[in-house]
Amino acid sequence: MHQEVEIQALTATDVPSVLRIQETAYAANFLEGADSFVSKIAASSTTSFGAWHNGEMVGYLIAFPVDGHAGVALNSSVASPVSLDEATAMYVHDLAVHPTWRGRAVADHLLEELTLVSAHHSITAYALVSVQGSQGFWEKRGFVVSADPAPNGYGPEAVLMLR
């Protein structure tokens, strides 16, 4: 447990809270449907987390193990990860924190939890798609821009980032 938040694995029953936070974090063209989140959480329930404060979700991270770093299309309800023991990388699909909780290290606590799980399975490589000007946020956490294009649906300003 962290100072103000508790990190727990996500389940399908958390999707309404995920959707609520997503609406505060992203422009309309980046909003994903409930089916997309249910699929991604089910793909690897041990690598997707929520941050709670007094029983209310204040942030979430959706990630799953992959072979390579291709990622998945935005709003796709098809996630085909490999097992944690066969993965070569962890794909961070989504990280969002409610605006009233930004700047309080919630994102870092979620990323720390993912790093612990990944390290336990000898996964040290990460991939993600940076959107909405978040590239600097990710660079501060050790990610660099890849020469490879971002997956479909993220728009022309999206960049694939690796660590």
Task: Give the pTM.
Answer: 0.90
Assign 80 a pLDDT band (cuts: 50, 70, 90). Answer: low
* pLDDT score of 78: 57
* pLDDT score of 2: 52
Q: What topology does CATH give the domain 6-162?
A: Aminopeptidase (3.40.630)
Residue 12 is classified by DSSP as G
Assign 77 a pLDDT band (cuts: 50, 70, 90). Answer: low
Instruction: Name the CA radius of gyration of the chain, rounded.
Output: 14
* pLDDT score of 1: 44
| Average pLDDT of span 52-75 | 85
> What burial letters (b/e) apply to 87-125, b meaning 16+ CB within 10 Å?
bebbbbbbbbbbeebeebbbbebbbebbeebbeebebee
Residue ranges per structural domain of the chain: 6-162
More confident residue, 106 or 154: 106
* pLDDT score of 49: 98
